[in-house]
């Protein structure tokens, strides 16, 4: 059996607004929106990976608040784990730096107004059930 590789995703909040990031590639995912994040490196804690990925992908300083219950299968052997997070005081506003061409804060009630990467749809629904931090 192949070992799972964990991909972390951030439900990054500013008050009650959720941040979405639009993929710039690969071609099959370009133009679709996702929760920002990435792979956990060997020996790295998932929460540490999430903070690192947010810094690398968005240029922000963030703190992890809590795990959203669930695990979502991406392309095997990858699985998505999601945490709520918030910007630290003094952090710059998120910018699309790596793997994305746009970021957008979504107000409550508008989360389904954008085309999400299919694998993120159940995770975003779980975030909605979980609530803001």
H or E, element range at 54: helix 46-58
For 10-25, the pLDDT digits (tens) are 999 999 999 999 999 9
Residue 31 has pLDDT above 70, yes or no: yes
H or E, element range at 86: strand 78-87
Q: What CATH number corresponds to the domain at position 77? A: 3.90.79.10
Rounded to an integer, the average pLDDT of 101-118 is: 96
Q: Which domain holds residue 51?
A: 5-130
User: What's the total number of domains in the chain?
Assistant: 1
pLDDT band at 104 (very low <50, low <70, confident <90, very high): very high
- Global confidence as pTM: 0.94
For 32-42, the pLDDT digits (tens) are 999 999 999 99
Residue 75 contacts by C-beta under 8 Å, 6 or more apart in sequence?
119
């Amino acid at each position: 059996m192949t070992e799972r590789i964990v991909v972390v995703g951030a439900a990054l909040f500013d008050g009650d607004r959720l941040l979405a990031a639009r993929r710039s590639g690969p071609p099959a995912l370009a133009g679709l929106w996702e929760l920002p994040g990435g792979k956990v490196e060997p020996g790295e804690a998932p929460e540490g990976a999430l903070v690192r990925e947010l810094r690398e992908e968005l240029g922000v300083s963030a703190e992890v608040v809590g795990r959203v219950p669930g695990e979502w299968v991406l392309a095997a052997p990858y699985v998505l784990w999601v945490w709520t997070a918030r910007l630290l005081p003094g952090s710059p506003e998120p910018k699309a730096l790596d793997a994305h061409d746009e970021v957008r804060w979504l107000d409550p009630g508008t989360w389904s107004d954008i085309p999400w990467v299919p694998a993120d749809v159940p995770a975003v629904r779980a975030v909605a059930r979980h609530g803001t931090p």
